[in-house]
Amino acid sequence: MIKITFPDGNIREYNSGVTPIEVALSISEGLARNVLAAKVDDQVVDASTPIQNDARVQLLTWNDTEGKKTFWHSSAHLMAEAIEALYPGTKFGIGPAIENGFYYDIDLGGKEFGSDQFKQIEDKMLELARQKSEYLRKPVAKADAIAYFQEKDDEYKLELLEGLEDGSITFYTQGNFTDLCRGPHIPQTGFIKSVKLLSVAGAYWRGDEKRKQMTRIYAITFPKAKELEEYLFLLEEAKRRDHRKLGKELELFAFSEKVGLGLPLWLPKGTILRERLENFLRRAQVRAGYSPVVTPHIGSKELYVTSGHYAKYGKDSFQPINTPDEGEEFLLKPMNCPHHCEIYKTKPRSYKDLPLRLAEFGTVYRYEQSGELHGLTRVRGFTQDDAHIFCRPDQVEDEFMKVIDLVLYVFKALGFHEFSAQVSLRDKTDREKYIGRDEDWEKAEAAIIKSAQEKGLPYVVEYGEAAFYGPKLDFMVRDALGRKWQLGTIQVDYQLPQRFELEYTGSDNQKHRPVMIHRAPFGSLERFVAILIENTAGNFPLWLSPDQLAVLPISEKYEDYANEIYLRLQERDLRGYVDHRDEKIGRKIRDAEVSKVPFMIIVGDKEQAEGLVSIRKKGQGDLGSMTLDAFMAIAQEEIQQLTHDR
């Protein structure tokens, strides 16, 4: 007999060799009908995999992330079967699950392929799914695997086989399709009830621009037709909210090929939005005891050699800048932290000086591949709301929890109410990509987990996601469309103080190393703005709106009164514009609505005669006539309420 421990801590005994699906049947037939795969200890396996020893077991359904990934990876195999049936001779690269759905890279041998062929493949996939073919796993000797794909003349699978050891190779077969695959897979194709091919793109084999370009087909599947309908609705909503589209319409930012790919140009309205975000955080940082600093956009190559960034990222960064002095090299700044270490070293530090909190809105540069660039979410030059806290070891947990409070304050003020935390630790086995002593890593990891627990944060642990110099706590925010984004991050670092030989004099009059905490509540300001645009659909809270109001005179007779009104509003730090165009008032109102201006102030004969204004609020309509002081009080109260800055 073996003991199976379930996620809720419940333990049951079963015969050795029991499978997850048999475990599910022992609980209920309803559960068994929904099991897609299982997590045995830390490994996701087929629901038919025998369990030989005591184990922790989680039965995975559509409601679990790993369950969805298994479902979508199995769907990729089903799509490949449909494509092979419709286009014999097709060669296949890889077909992984992604965040939403899956893709498969294929080589059609020069045949044209476009969206007009999507429905044919969708129909074939559903036809095959109804056959309820099992996904059958089979270990295969390397020689046999090579022979199989040589016969199919599939050079892509043969290349993948080159890196695999004999004894570790498995095939999966469903229906008439066999693929090289580690798995796991869902029990059978009948789980797949709805299919949608989403797009087609070119993709270089193994991401190498020198290799052949394959056809990448993106698709998504669901166990219920209704879920596909809901997803397609969200997809359309996402297009409507796309920050690239809204950024252009609202005149926030632009890109220019002459300036360079991935280097955004902030237009006046976008700059106002950025400045308001920065000022909001600056005020919060002053209250939290941070000191502002400014560092150059470049640094000596030796600075990043010392920090370790050059060894880790040098090949993927902008290449060194050579000066007229022979051998002198500079780099565009990829990180702010090495500069802040040098600021720390500008004078001797005592234990009484710590914690020292240095904050900077610092622009950094990283050479992202052109194919990876995407609006503001993936750029080559971006500004981080970066800060580094230099503290004593006994101050780490307290400082870490204070940063958590700051991140939560930012999220609340900006309307991000659904979030989770991810504790990102080192890979369990591959330690080569990390620097520093195990002892320091263990202390840093323990401090992060303890802080998250004491703050009551819902968190998950992800191995292999740590920065090369230390573990971190990443905040994953869910937006209005249910998408998850990684925003704020906090990292504990024992390594850079060591590499830069940072010291402070302790109460024992001896020299000690400080610990460094990296933090960025926004992360990348560019990426944060992109997510904010999409989360609000461009309807920013009043305090953030570039144009908070529009003063709309009914005709040119009332322009002087409109200008007078606007001057008084500016004195109270309320910003917008006066619409002087020779247009009817209805057109002016519609244009202000399209531009997502929160308040419209309409002035005409009655308003001018009585010294009043007529107020219209976006999304609510007319609020009636009132004095300008009464309106300004309404606006100021809304701003204070939204920023929680009373």
Residue ranges at the known binding site for Zn(2+): 337, 388, 518
Helices first, then strands: H and E counts in the chain? 20, 33
Residue 385 CA to residue 614 CA, distance in Å, equals: 40
| Assigned token pair, 339 | 């500069």
Angle at 252 between CA 246 and CA 254, to 5 degrees: 90
CB 91 within 8 A of CB 109: yes
Are the C-beta atoms of 416 and 535 separated by less than 8 Å? yes
Contact (Cβ atoms closer than 8 angstroms) between residue 514 and residue 392:
yes
Q: What 3-state class would DSSP assign to 75?
A: helix
Helix (H, G, I), strand (E, B) or coil at 596: coil
Q: Which of 386, 440, 493, 579 is catalytic?
A: 386
* Distance separating the N- and C-terminal Cα atoms of the chain: 63
386 is known as an active-site residue: yes
User: Is 337 annotated in the active site?
Assistant: yes
Q: Which entry of 285, 384, 395, 495 is annotated as an active-site residue?
A: 384
- Angle at Cα 448 formed by Cα 447 and Cα 449, nearest 5°? 95
Is 554:527 a contact under the CB 8 Å cutoff? no
The Cα–Cα gap between 361 and 456 comes to: 29
Give the whole-angstrom CA distance, residue 644 versus residue 646.
Answer: 6
Place of tokens 């905490």: 517
Beta bridge partners of residue 377, listed in sequence order:
none
Q: Which residues does 22 contact at the CB level (< 8 Å), separation at least 6?
A: 14
Question: How far, in Å, CA of 381 to CA of 298, rounded?
Answer: 12
Of residues 518, 588, 596, 616, which has the active-site annotation? 518
Task: Output the CA angle 15-18-21, nearest 5 degrees.
Answer: 140
Residue 179 annotated in active site: no
Dist. CA 345–CA 332, nearest whole Å: 22
Q: Which two tokens stand for residue 354?
A: 């710590």
Q: What is the DSSP letter of 314?
A: G
- 10 Å CB burial of residue 437 (0-12, 13-18, 19+) is exposed
Which residue out of 216, 366, 378, 588 is catalytically annotated?
366
478 among known catalytic residues: no
**Which is the catalytic residue, given 241, 472, 512, 519?**
472
Please state, in angstroms and as integers, the Cα–Cα distance from residue 48 to each residue in 23, 51, 74, following that order.
Answer: 10, 9, 15
Residue 188 annotated in active site: no
Q: Which of 58, 157, 333, 337 is catalytic?
A: 337
Is 472 among the residues known to form the active site?
Answer: yes
| DSSP characters over 612-633 | -EEEEETTTEEEEEE-HHHHHH
**Residue tagged active-site, from 388, 512, 519, 588:** 388
Extract the annotated binding site: 337, 388, 518
List the structure tokens of 515. Answer: 């610990």
User: Residue 335 to residues 268, 276, 438, 514: CA-CA distances in angstroms?
Assistant: 27, 24, 24, 20
Instruction: Provide the annotated active-site residues.
Output: 337, 366, 384, 386, 388, 472, 518
